[in-house]
Chains A and B, each alone.
Chain A
C-alpha cells in the first residue's frame, strides 16, 4: 500500500472514529466538554509519561482516560455547589489541568522529547512510518491500527447501548425512572471521548479532534431528524473532510490536520447554506412563499 493511500485511510478512519461519539456530544450539548477534555488529556499523558518513562506505553492511554473522567467529575463537583454555572465550571477546570501539565513538562521534562506542538497539531504526514509489527508481520501504520480499533470500540459502544443512549439523550428524567443510570452512561461516553481524543492525537492533534467530533455531526443534524441516519451522515461527512483535507494539504503543501479541520468547516458551511429544509437558502425561500401565500388568501 502506498504511503499516500495509507495517509488517506488513516484520515478517514480517525474522522469516522471521532464522528460517532461526536453525534451524542452535539445532541447532549456537551461539545465544549470535549474541548475541555482534549486539552486536559495532556495532563494525563504527562503523568503517565512520568510513571512509565515511555511515550509508547499503553499506560499513557489509561492516564489520559482517567484525566478525562477527572475533568468531567471536577466540572460536576463545581456545578453541584450551585455557585458556578456549568459553562463557567468548564472554563475554570481545563485551564488549571492544562497549566499543571505545561509546568510539569517545562520543569521536569525539559530534556526529554514531549513535543507540545505534536500533541496539538499532530503529524499525519509521518504517521505511515510508525508501524505496528506483530510476530514479525507488518500490520500497518500504528495510527491506522489504533484508528480501526477506535472505530470498532465506538461502534460497539453505540450499538450495544443504543436504546439507553437514545433515551438518556432525549429524556434524562425518563431514563432515570426506567432504571438506567444516566450518570454512569454520561461518564462512559466521556471516557470514550477521552480514549478517542488520545488515540487521534498522533494523527491530527488535540484541538482538531474537536473539529472532527463537532463539525460533521452538526452538519448531519441539519440534514436529518433520525438518529441512525445522523450517525451515518456524520461518519460520511467526517470521512469526506479527511480525504478532501488531505488533497487540499497536498496541493498547498500545508498542515494535513489543519486542512481536515478546515474542510469539515467548509462542508458544514455548505450544509448550512443548502440543506433542503433547514438551510439558509431554504429558509429565505420559505419566508417568501409564505408571504406570497398570505397575500393571495
Chain B
C-alpha cells in the first residue's frame, strides 16, 4: 500500500495529470454551480463542441500546437457561439434548448470542415480529432498545469469579486436590471469564464465529457447544502477530488483513458449525494415518509385523529 502511494507520488506523469485534473475540477465545479442554477447545464456541452472550429483555425493560422494558442482559439469560438445563442434566443421564438442543439452541431460541423482542410496541409502534424474529443491527459506537461493554475486563480478571484452580482444574476436577473446593474455584461463575463474553463478542460477530458465536469460536481454539492457559498466550495472540492481519483485510477490500469474515468468518478459522487445527503437525499426522504405514516396511523388508531377531514394550514397558499 505504502509502496503504491510512493510510486504514484514519484511518477512525474501521474503527478502532473492529477494536479491538472484537480485544477480543472476546482474551476469547473465552482463555475458549474452557476450554470446549473441558471438552468444552463447544457451550455457547457454546447460551448465545448463549438470550440472545435476555433481550435482548427488557431492551428491553421499558427501551425502551433501550444496549449495557450489552442486555448485562445477555443475561447474565441466558444464566445462567438455564446453570442450567436443570445442573439437567436432573444430575437426569435426558438427555445433555448433548440438553439443550444443547433449551435452545438453546426459549429462542430464547421469545425470538422476546417479540420479536414487542415489535415490536407503539408504542415499538418495531425491535429487529431480524437485528442479533441476524448482529451489527451497523458500529454499534459508541467507548464500546461501552470497555465491552467494561473487562469483558474484569476477566475476564482473574479468569482469572489463579483460574488453578490453573480448570485443575483443567477437568482433574479430582471430585478438586477432594475437596480441598475449591468446584467448583460455580468452575464457575458460569467459565460466567458465558463468558456475559458471549457477550453482548459478540453485537453484533459475532451469535448463530450467536459459538460459532466461542469454539471456533476454542482448537482452533487447542491444536495448537501442550502447556501450558495457552501455549495460552490463543495462543488470545487468534489471536482478536485474526482479529478485526482480519476487520474490515479486511470494510471493504474493500461488502456483506461483519463477523461472517462474522471467522469465516472464524479458521477458516483452525484449518485451518493442524491441517495445519502441529509435532508434532501432520497434515503432521508423515504425515512421521513415512513415515520410520518407511522405517526399518522398511530394517531388514527388511538383515536386522536379522524381521517377524512383535511387539516387547515394557515400559512400555506
Contacts and interface: CB of A to CB of B under 8 A. Distances in A.
Does a CB–CB distance below 8 Å link A and B in the complex?
yes
Interface of A: 25-26, 29-32, 34-35, 39, 78, 81, 83-85, 87-88, 90-92, 95-96, 98-100, 102-103, 106-107, 110, 116-117, 120-121, 207-208, 210-211, 213-215, 218, 221-222, 248-249, 252-255, 257-262, 264-265, 268, 272, 278, 280, 283
Contacts of B222: 83
Q: Which of B44, B215, B267: most chain A Cβ within 10 A?
A: B215
Given A106-B257, A208-B109, A29 B134 contact: no
Contact of A211 (B94, B109, B216): B109
12 contacts: A83-B274, A87-B40, A88-B36, A95-B209, A102-B134, A116-B130, A116-B134, A207-B105, A208-B109, A215-B106, A218-B94, A222-B92
Contact of B101 (A39, A95, A120, A210): A210
Contacts of B39: 85, 87-88
Contacts of B113: 248-249, 252, 254-255, 258-259, 262
Contacts, number: 204
Interface in B236-292: 253, 255-257, 259-261, 263-264, 267, 270, 274, 280, 282
A241 B218 CA distance: 39
A261 B212 contact: no
Given A95-B211, A120-B133, A211-B105, A221 B94 contact: yes
B116 interface: yes
A26 B94 CA distance: 8
B98 A31 contact: yes
Nearest to A271: B92
Interface in B93-152: 93-95, 97-102, 104-117, 120, 129-130, 133-134
B31 to A, nearest CB: 14
Nearest to B109: A261
A280 B105 contact: no
Interface of B: 36, 39-42, 44-45, 49, 88, 91-95, 97-102, 104-117, 120, 129-130, 133-134, 208-209, 211-212, 214-216, 218-219, 222-223, 253, 255-257, 259-261, 263-264, 267, 270, 274, 280, 282
A253 B116 CA distance: 8
Nearest to B36: A88
B230 to A, nearest CB: 17
B130 A278 contact: no
A106 B41 contact: no
Nearest to A249: B113
A21 to B, nearest CB: 13
A289 B256 CA distance: 63
B267 A85 contact: no
Contacts of B108: 207-208, 211, 261
A44 B158 CA distance: 42
A266 to B, nearest CB: 9
A106 B256 CA distance: 7
A214 B282 contact: no
Contacts of B97: 29-32, 87
A272 B104 contact: no
9 tightest A-B contacts by CB?
Answer: A261-B109, A258-B112, A265-B106, A211-B105, A95-B212, A99-B260, A31-B101, A91-B215, A210-B105
Contacts of B214: 91
A83 B280 contact: yes
